[in-house]
Amino acid sequence: MDPLILSRIQFGANISFHILFPAITIALGWVLLFFKLRYNASGDSAWMHAYFTWVKVFALSFAMGVVSGVTMSFQFGTNWPGYMKTVGNIAGPLLAYEILTAFFLEAAFLGIMLFGFRRVSNRIHTLATVLVAGSTTVSAFWIIALNSWMQTPAGFEMRDGVAHAVSWWAIVFNPSMPYRLVHMLLASGLTVSFLIAGLSALRYLYGDRSESMWKALRTGVFTAAILIPIQIFAGDQHGLNTLAHQPQKIAAMEANWNTGPNVPLVLFALPDEAAKENRFEIAIPDGASLVLRHSTGGVVPGLNDYPGNHPPVFPVFWGFRVMVGTGILMLIVSWSAAWFLWRRHSLPKPLAIIMVPMTISGWLATLAGWYTTEIGRQPWLVTGVLKTADAVGPVAGSHVALTLAVYLMLYVLLLIAYLGVLAHLALKAAKDGDTSPLPGVMNAALSQPAAGE
Amino acid sequence: MTFDWPTALPLIFAGLMGLAILIYVVLDGFDLGIGILFAAAGDAEQDTMIAAIGPFWDANETWLVLAVGLLLVAFPMAHGTILTALYLPVFVLLVGLILRGVAFDFRAKVPAGKKHRWNRIFFLGSATASLAQGYMLGVYVLGLDVGLGGMAFGALVALCLSAAYAAMGAAWLIYKTEDDLQKKAVRWLRTALVLTALGMIAVSLATPFASPRIFDKWFVWPQILYLSPLPILSALLFLWLWRQTFDLPKPDDRHAIRPFLALTAIFTLGFAGLAWSFYPYVVPDKLTIWQAASAPESLAIILAGTVVVLPVIIFYSFYAYRVFSGKATDLTYD
């Protein structure tokens, strides 16, 4: 068995599993802060109930993210030793800063968020929430900086086959970094808003009409409705940036074979790399030229310009379409729900039923987008610097196959358990409504009663 | 002697990495140990034991991320060499840590009927992770020998390190709990201490005999004199701790933290011995810390951040421990 293919599948599986959880924690931290600030301002304990329902989801997602993240940090060494050997001088400091500036802060103050409500003053508890939310975002900043650098490297020079840093500013703020960061942060925001909206809709369907359910539902729906158009705009800008820096990726996303003007926007096709053409193509004439160049005569790069040097077309093309399709669905569902909540102060049952499976729509879009951009970088691991095939380690294929099989099994079981617990938490919250006791140290008074109590 | 950054930086990072590993072993050591002791505890006791580590374990595990991260960023060559040689045990460790970490969170959130299952997974994950760490230590001590001898020795160290973690867990419970569970923890500590001592003796003997170079670092005059405090102090601490287990807990629960501190001191001494043995190699007898290090300018930029941030990390870690000081019984999870 080929260790390269197996190692790639294994890393793909690990990072796919891992990213699901940061996608939740990055934005959920800020939503928790919003709940906490609303509680501080109003003294309405329903906000605190919403906080404690969702801080559990945060803790669970954080734990899943940490354990899968530890796996990733080991995998650089076990499966991809060539990566750190070649670009360790660049990747190293970025990873180190992630651990130093963000990871510890999150882990230390999460304990206070979860269990410290009655142990520390209300102000310190709020501060802990701020620190956790801030540090998840800082963490994302460093990781996205590294990932963007791998896509569009800058600020370095090669000496004896090893990358050396020349300008840290250019490395961190490389050409695609701001676009990627904004796109990812918004993706996290959407993932969380649909998660909250979807699970609140589930509570609603189970007859829960408590204040904390309504507060969470409205927060999720309105956040989604506001973020989705911003995300569509940011995604378009990100696409233009990719066109400028990674044209072969755009060619694969559009399944466009020949460079030229008047390129159609392909809605459906089965790209065939051997024949260099699309089968069963349905397309809008001049569409791709219009979207990418804002003119029907705009020249769009084609795959035939990059023989042997472009990513596999099928997964990139379809990854992109699944992401965009999910995004459109998100727009329709969130705007409909927002309209009903705003104008009618109610949620029709059919819409609530649609929102339940939409709970994981953010995951679907994030993964599809992630595949588009990461597979779209192939055959390079670091564009123009290091090929994926040159980074793989000297491990026996059978070992990689064995570990891959166990990881896959573990991940599937954990995902089922995770979703099961989410559903269980939602149903338990639906049963308890606003009546469950607030956590902390039993029988101790809130250290600082909020206003109005 | 002039100060020379390219020489000093790898040395500083070897020190930082050592510190991160030591802190990890002590802090996550008691978390993992409590997981191992789960096998011997009842339902209600398990809840209290979890409460004793609940607010801390996330931050404790982060020291492993820092240690591996430093190995990765400061000594990328060694990271690749060590981890490819230990491919399967690393994998077992990761599966153990994953299971331990998620079971910790799941057990408190699943319906009551399913809690048992996650308690068992918590034990299994903790035991697996501890065994894998011990096995890796054993194989590393013998110079990454993955032959039959290395595997057998790895298995022995695996058992002993797990016992050492169990001792840490028991010592932490003596500090954080009261009444019956505390008395039980004292008995656990006594049993685990025997295996811990055996493991330290085994590693101390095996290390010099695995490598003539290490032998010469220990058993030559006058080094043997300078180094003699390490084994002597360790032995004295072991004996003191062993005697303590016969009259703990003390009236008014005085000195409940002492067993934990004594074990920490023992771990530190053992760790210092290992560090002395392997210096200046990061991959035993193959790669020195200078051969394996990243470029000085990359190390410098990490160091700049570390010098500022590490004290802050230590400060707020202390703060988190202070917030949750006292006995663990009254912490609720819903």
Q: What is the DSSP letter of B253?
A: G
Surface-to-core class of residue B320, CB atoms within 10 Å of its CB (0-12 exposed, 13-18 middle, 19+ buried): buried
Distance CA B293, CA A84 (A): 11
Q: Which of B31, B58, B319 to mutate to test the interface with A (most CBs of A within 10 A)?
A: B58
pLDDT of residue A225: 93
In one-letter notation, the amino acid at residue A198 is: G
Q: Which two tokens stand for residue A5?
A: 């293919």
Query: Per the CB < 8 Å rule, is B59 touching A111?
Result: yes
A4 in helix, strand or coil? Answer: helix
- Global pTM? 0.85
Query: Per the CB < 8 Å rule, is B94 touching A70?
Result: yes
Q: Which of B56, B61, B72, B176 to mutate to test the interface with A (most CBs of A within 10 A)?
A: B72
Q: What is the DSSP letter of B250?
A: P
Q: How far is B171 from chain A (nearest CA, A)?
A: 22
Q: Which of B80, B104, B316 sits opposite A81 (nearest CB)?
A: B80
Query: Per the CB < 8 Å rule, is A164 touching B324?
Result: no
User: What is the pLDDT averaged over residues A277-286?
Assistant: 78
pLDDT of residue A452: 32
A10-14, A138-142, A244-248, A395-399: range with lowest mean pLDDT: A395-399
Q: What is the mean pLDDT of chain A?
A: 85
Q: Residues B312, B314, B320, B324: what is their CA dihedral angle, to the nearest 10 degrees?
A: -160
Q: What is the mean pLDDT of chain B?
A: 83
Distance CA B50, CA B181 (A): 13
A84-93, A370-379, B147-156, B213-222: range with lowest mean pLDDT: B213-222
Q: Which of A70, A76, A100 sits opposite B306 (nearest CB)?
A: A100
Q: Pairing mode, if any, of strands A277-284 and A380-382? A: unpaired
Q: How far is B133 from chain A (nearest CA, A)?
A: 13
Task: Return the residue of B nearest to A403 by Cα.
Answer: B91
Concatenated DSSP letters of B46-86? HHHHHHHHTTTHHHHHHHHHHHHHHHHHH-HHHHHHHHHHT
Tell me, what's the ipTM?
0.78
Q: Which of A74, A96, A421 sits opposite B106 (nearest CB)?
A: A421
pLDDT in tens, B183-204: 888 888 888 888 888 888 888 8
Task: List chain B residues with CB under 8 Å of A425.
Answer: 109
Task: List chain A residues with CB under 8 Å of B306.
Answer: 96, 100
A15-19, A108-112, B156-160: range with lowest mean pLDDT: A108-112
A395/B90: higher pLDDT: B90
B250/A148: higher pLDDT: A148
pLDDT in tens, A318-328: 898 899 999 99
pLDDT in tens, A52-79: 889 888 988 988 888 888 888 778 777 7
Query: Per the CB < 8 Å rule, is B109 touching A410?
Result: no
pLDDT of residue B334: 43
% of residues, chain A, pLDDT over 70: 96
User: What is the pLDDT averaged over residues A294-309?
Assistant: 81
C-alpha closest to that of B162 among B28, B252, B318: B28
Sign, CA torsion A133/A134/A135/A136: positive
Q: How far is B228 from chain A (nearest CA, A)?
A: 36
Query: Per the CB < 8 Å rule, is B302 touching A96?
Result: yes
Task: List chain A residues with CB under 8 Å of B298.
Answer: 88-90, 92-93, 164-165
Q: How far is B303 from chain A (nearest CA, A)?
A: 9
CB contacts < 8 A, A to B, total 216
Q: How far is A433 from chain B (nearest CA, A)?
A: 14
Query: Per the CB < 8 Å rule, is B305 touching A120?
Result: no
pLDDT in tens, B132-161: 999 988 888 887 877 887 888 888 888 888
C-alpha closest to that of A193 among A40, A361, A16, A418: A361
